[in-house]
Amino acid sequence: MSRTFLGMPGTAPPGVGHLRGAEPFPAAARRGLADPQLRRNLGHATTTIRAKSGAVIGELPDWQALREAGSAIKTDVLTRLPELLEQLEAAVTAAGGVVHWAADAVEANRIVTELVAATGSDRVIKVKSMATQEIGLNEALDAAGITAVETDLAELIVQLGEDRPSHILVPAIHRNRAEIREIFLRAMPGVDPSLTDDPPALAAAARRFLRETFLTTRVAISGANFAVAETGTLAVVESEGNGRMCLTLPETLITVMGVEKVVPTWRDLEVFLQLLPRASTGERMNPYTSMWTGVTTGDGPQAFHLVLLDNGRSAVLADEVGRQALHCIRCSACLNVCPVYERVGGHAYGSVYPGPIGAVLSPQLTGVEDNASLPYASTLCGACYDACPVKINIPELLVHLRDRAPHPRAETAAMAAAAYVMDRPALYAAAQRAARLSRFAGRRGRGLPPPLSGWTIGRDLPQPPARTFREWWAQR
Amino acid sequence: MSGREEVLARLRAARGAVPPASAETPRDYRPAGRAADLDLLVDRLTDYRATVHRCAEPEVAEVVDAVLGGRRIVVPRELPRRWLPASVTAVADDDLSTAQVAAVDGVVTAAAVAVAETGTIVLDGGPDQGRRLITLLPDVHVCVLRSEQVVAGVPDAVARLDPRRPLTWISGPSATSDIELNRVEGVHGPRNLHVVLLAPDAR
């Protein structure tokens, strides 16, 4: 449980938002593994994206130098975070924006709800944002009588299907085209009943459905990919144009951003605008990137609010090894290369942040007690580290967090007993002889009996040899 | 404690010791300043389903006629009128309402910068490019690009652009990767992007 003291780093509070699953990873993973359609959809999508991403990364002779630069910029940001945020606040304010600070999800939801209520609008349009999913903003708005319309195609599929997102970039990655067609036919008001499952036809259906909403909604809520401290410039990277709609058409724009998204200088964007699209959607550049600085007279929203969110990030920053998880630019490359993610799917991770980055970020944001199984949701193969455009050493973090996670009492007792025995040669020899007796106990291949059975659910128990090395040595 | 003081105090406590002077960021990637390759730009634009027309400046009106002849379009206030053929009905954007802009068939603009390596054009809201909304709602966008506006890579574009202006980076028509992670063109932005690349001045 999080206990926060004023001014001390705090974890994300329980009971609000989507960082904690209802069940531990192994139980949820078993359900994903039992769904062959899910595995086919994920296998197809991740294979496609790996090929695309690999091809456009291969076009750049300086990819590794860009990764180095991206990693170094993020490391620098974390050592200067308070100063950079104050600089960002001053620049945004000077350009006509209003900056708000939220220590956790509850405060952020309250701030945004009050800002929307003050406009008198009972509907907002949203462009996909991990931060607002993390804090459960849609639920908070709903409780205040405000309808939040998700405008990203995949978010719309999830919202209409009353489903949960399962991927950072493509929240509906677990659905194939035929399933998406069924969801649209069932839940999209006014949809053409002759809709086919041709992807362009599905995209066109979403275009028609959202057009009127874009033109008539007065408030939009977005996240941010980057915020430049030096100039106060915000950037949103997207594909469909729903982001441009949200950032351009309404009178009021509210942007919710995790504090770690700040970068020091305008020039730093030359690094991240090369890294993000190639690692993320496997494009040389995504179709649309919008950048704005405060308010521009006569163009776009005339009221701009920026909400800076902590919600556990200070707790991540406090761990000198763990803090590199805050380098993440939400590209999802680590999900697309992970053999575990590809088989169990995003829902198994319980948090809005699935896959390898989720396995190291969610437990740190909530406190590792509340997501204790996630650091084990990996084979430590290291593909995620190779794929990460900002060089987060995810395997190192996983091991670090396994060390910090609470261990079952039986395991702790068994390890202490093993250490005691291995310290004492006579006892150790006796234990080896005793282990040999288990060959006759009829449990071969079935693991250990309770209470030690938990250890052998996911591990093979080595068969004790007929003769130990020490015995063989003594007889030579 | 206000939210602001609370968050800043938490981050100061979490960061630990006062930071040393920040080390210089290693920037060993290709810097700005390489020569721009116009053919590469055309290749990249075409690869992402934009239609490219290469012509001399006096021929722009012919291209616009071929793409938008007989249709109603919106144009930014200071778009050169010689780019518009008699066959289009052009409305200048004098604070048109959203509904008025949404009702036209197309838009013709200039651009600020284009990036050859990524096939990207950037608009900065200049008087020949207009408000962001006019290049968003119409279904056909014709963008006229002068060859000296083309730069080699992303660092060149960042160096040329002014972050205080509203910037829109456009790489091909509206698209999505949300269905089975494959790129599909045509969602909320213009579904047709035509880039008119002017030949270098013969002077």
Residue A250 — very low, low, confident or very high, per pLDDT cuts 50/70/90?
very high
CB contact under 8 A, B7 and A153: no
The whole-angstrom distance between residue A230's C-alpha and the CA centroid of its chain comes to 27
Split into its structural domains, chain A has a count of 3
The answer to whether A232 and A94 are in contact (CB under 8 A) is yes
Residues of chain A found within 8 Å of residue B134, distances taken between Cβ atoms: none
State the pLDDT at residue A443. Answer: 54
Residue A12 maps to a domain: no
Residue A118 gets which letter from DSSP?
H
Question: Based on the domain organization, do A392 and A458 belong to the same domain?
Answer: no
In the numeric block, the tokens 């090929």 are attached to A51
* Shortest distance, CA B23 to any CA of chain A (angstroms): 8
Q: How far apart are CA A48 and CA A292, in angstroms?
A: 33
State the pLDDT at residue A410. Answer: 77
The whole-angstrom distance between residue A274's C-alpha and the CA centroid of its chain comes to 21
Residue A11 maps to a domain: no
Mean pLDDT lowest among A72-76, A158-162, B78-82, B117-121: A158-162
End residue of a domain, out of A248, A276, A311: A311
Of B95, B153, B169, the CB nearest to A289: B169
Residue A6 maps to a domain: no
pLDDT tens for each residue of A118-152: 999 999 999 989 999 999 999 999 999 999 999 99
Residues of chain B found within 8 Å of residue A212, distances taken between Cβ atoms: none
- Fold assignment, B33-175: Rossmann fold (3.40.50)
Which of B177, B182, B191 best tests the A interface by mutation, with the highest count of A CBs <10 A? B177
Residues of chain A found within 8 Å of residue B11, distances taken between Cβ atoms: 9, 81-82, 85, 259, 310, 314, 317
Question: Based on the domain organization, do A442 and A399 belong to the same domain?
Answer: no
Is A319 a residue whose pLDDT tops 60?
yes
Domain regions of chain B by residue span = 33-175
Residue A417 maps to a domain: yes
ipTM of the complex, rounded to two decimals? 0.96
Residue A414 — very low, low, confident or very high, per pLDDT cuts 50/70/90?
confident
Q: CA-nearest residue of chain B to A81?
A: B11
Residue A1 — very low, low, confident or very high, per pLDDT cuts 50/70/90?
very low
Residue A337 maps to a domain: yes
Question: Based on the domain organization, do A77 and A138 belong to the same domain?
Answer: yes
- For residue A424, give the amino acid letter: R
Question: Based on the domain organization, do A125 and A139 belong to the same domain?
Answer: yes
Closest CA to A128 of A153, A106, A107, A104: A153
Question: Based on the domain organization, do A292 and A389 belong to the same domain?
Answer: no
Which of B115, B118, B178 best tests the A interface by mutation, with the highest count of A CBs <10 A? B178
CB contact under 8 A, A172 and B28: no
Alpha-helical regions (H) of A190-241: 199-216
Residue A325 maps to a domain: no
Is A459 a residue whose pLDDT tops 80?
no
End residue of a domain, out of A383, A404, A425: A404
Question: Based on the domain organization, do A114 and A251 belong to the same domain?
Answer: yes
3-state DSSP helix/strand/coil percent for chain B, to nearest 5? 30, 25, 45
Question: Based on the domain organization, do A455 and A393 belong to the same domain?
Answer: no
Question: Based on the domain organization, do A185 and A86 belong to the same domain?
Answer: yes
Question: Based on the domain organization, do A269 and A395 belong to the same domain?
Answer: no
The CB-side HSE value for A213 (13 A sphere, CA atoms) comes to: 22
Give residue A430's domain range: 409-475
Residue A55 maps to a domain: no
Question: Based on the domain organization, do A109 and A223 belong to the same domain?
Answer: yes
What CATH code is carried by the domain that includes residue A90?
A: 3.40.50.10420
Q: Please state the rounded mean pLDDT for residues A370-385.
A: 96
Classify each residue of B80-113 as buried b or exposed e, where b means 16 or more C-beta atoms within 10 Å of its C-beta: eeebbbeebebbebeebeeeebbebebbbbbbbb
Parallel, antiparallel, or unpaired: how do β-strands B140-145 and B150-151 relate? unpaired
Which of B120, B158, B176 best tests the A interface by mutation, with the highest count of A CBs <10 A? B176
Of B30, B120, B188, the CB nearest to A241: B188
Question: Based on the domain organization, do A255 and A114 belong to the same domain?
Answer: yes
Residue A210 — very low, low, confident or very high, per pLDDT cuts 50/70/90?
very high
Q: CA-nearest residue of chain B to A4?
A: B10
Residue A49 maps to a domain: no
Question: Based on the domain organization, do A114 and A101 belong to the same domain?
Answer: yes
